[in-house]
A and B are shown apart, each in its own frame.
Chain A
Amino acid sequence: MKVDVYTAPLSDEGKEILRDRDAALDLLYKLLNDAQHGPFEVKAGARTFQVSSSVPDEVT
């Protein structure tokens, strides 16, 4: 049967983190380790990102 392929949301910041596999895995392990919504800090290349898995207003 024919299928439609959709692209999941991925912002420029998300692409930057995913390009750095170590940073992407580092973030995954932080998410797996913590049942909370964050925020976490992740370094991808020369930049540092604050990551939350809650709604943005809760990012502190």
Chain B
Amino acid sequence: MNFALPAITLLLILLPGILAVQGFLGKIGRKTSDPVGQTGITWALLAALLVAPVIHLALSATLVWLHLAWPPDLHAIFVLLSGDFADKADFARTIDTVIGAPWRVTLYFLLAAFVGLVVGRLVQLLVRATKLDRRVGSLHFGNDWHYLFSGEIDSDRRRPDAVVVAATVEHAGQVYLYVGYLRDYAVDRDGELKRLHMNSVVRRRIGDDREPGQVQHIPDRSGRFYPITGDELVIIFRDIRTLNVRYLYFRPK
């Protein structure tokens, strides 16, 4: 039976880096499938390759300093990674290193994976708190809809108190304008918007534009706009032609 020991070892070593990248990206992160040129490697994997050794170095140095672990046996690691087990003495020494301290090895990799996840999340919080993702293009997260609907289209704007969306939607051969308060929205893993969930929505046919000088009465007496009854309106994005977003800021009087 072949356990593909080098592949399993490599995965265990890279896992903290992979989790750090995922922790950093989070839900609003860059699409992890973005390839680096034609190499078949994704940006996420490339970053994980760079970050994982740093986490291992920092963690193992800390554990050794605290007398909680021995220095890592790099020779054993390279033997496992190489997949060359022809030298029986070398292989036996490597196996002894792992089997001799199974709990320490297991706990180390669990701890390293946890540290990776926490570090990634903390870096994301730092980037978001300092608004670096809005100022530095390379730190901009992949979900553009999040920036649009959260009012984060520039670094100066503060988070709005509410968001009003106006969407033109085609159905039954007619184009309607829906205007309402955005509550939730759904984005798929490719970063495409799928649904808008709105409250207190009014609509009118797009052809019923306001006449010159006509005032939009409050409440609407012209009959152009009428409220949609119901608690929540869901609009499927594939039916939307255009989208207008308006950020609202409230101040109690």
Contact B200 A28 (CB under 8 A): yes
With most chain A CB atoms within 10 A of its CB, the pick from B157, B181, B217, B220 is: B181
With most chain A CB atoms within 10 A of its CB, the pick from B161, B188, B219 is: B161
Is B24's beta carbon under 8 Å from chain A?
no
Contact A6 B185 (CB under 8 A): yes
Contact A59 B179 (CB under 8 A): no
B176 contacts across to A, CB distance below 8 A: none
B250 contacts across to A, CB distance below 8 A: 11, 13-14, 17, 49-51
User: How many chain A residues have a CB neighbour from B under 8 Å?
Assistant: 38
How many A-B residue contacts, CB cutoff 8 Å?
A: 140
Contact A49 B252 (CB under 8 A): yes
Contact A24 B199 (CB under 8 A): yes
Contact A7 B251 (CB under 8 A): no
In chain A, residues 21-60, which have Cβ atoms closer than 8 Å to a Cβ of chain B? Answer: 21, 24-33, 41, 47-56, 59
B188 contacts across to A, CB distance below 8 A: 1-4
B233-253 vs A, CB cutoff 8 Å, 1 = contact: the mask equals 000000000000011111111
A13 and B218 in contact, given A5-B184, A8-B150, A28-B202 (Cβ under 8 angstroms): no
Selected from A18, A21, A26, A32, the residue in CB contact (under 8 A) with B162 is A18
Shortest distance from the beta carbon of A4 to any chain B beta carbon, whole Å: 5
A53 and B252 in contact, given A4-B186, A6-B184, A8-B150 (Cβ under 8 angstroms): no
**On chain B, which size bracket covers the interface?**
35 or more
**Whose C-beta in chain A lies nearest to the C-beta of B202?**
A28
Is B156's beta carbon under 8 Å from chain A?
yes
**Whose C-beta in chain A lies nearest to the C-beta of B166?**
A32
**Whose C-beta in chain B lies nearest to the C-beta of A33?**
B216
Shortest distance from the beta carbon of B142 to any chain A beta carbon, whole Å: 12
Contact B252 A48 (CB under 8 A): yes
Contact A11 B161 (CB under 8 A): yes
**Whose C-beta in chain B lies nearest to the C-beta of A13?**
B250
Selected from B150, B187, B202, the residue in CB contact (under 8 A) with A9 is B150
Shortest distance from the beta carbon of A45 to any chain B beta carbon, whole Å: 11
Contact B190 A33 (CB under 8 A): no
With most chain B CB atoms within 10 A of its CB, the pick from A2, A8, A18, A24 is: A8
Is B159's beta carbon under 8 Å from chain A?
yes
Is B135's beta carbon under 8 Å from chain A?
no
B158 contacts across to A, CB distance below 8 A: 55-56
Contact B219 A13 (CB under 8 A): no
Kindly state the separation between the CA atoms of A14 and B202 in the bound complex, as whole angstroms: 18
A1 and B216 in contact, given A14-B250, A55-B156, A55-B158 (Cβ under 8 angstroms): no
Shortest distance from the beta carbon of B151 to any chain A beta carbon, whole Å: 6
Selected from A18, A33, A48, the residue in CB contact (under 8 A) with B181 is A18
A2 and B189 in contact, given A9-B150, A28-B179, A49-B252 (Cβ under 8 angstroms): yes
Kindly state the separation between the CA atoms of A50 and B161 in the bound complex, as whole angstroms: 12
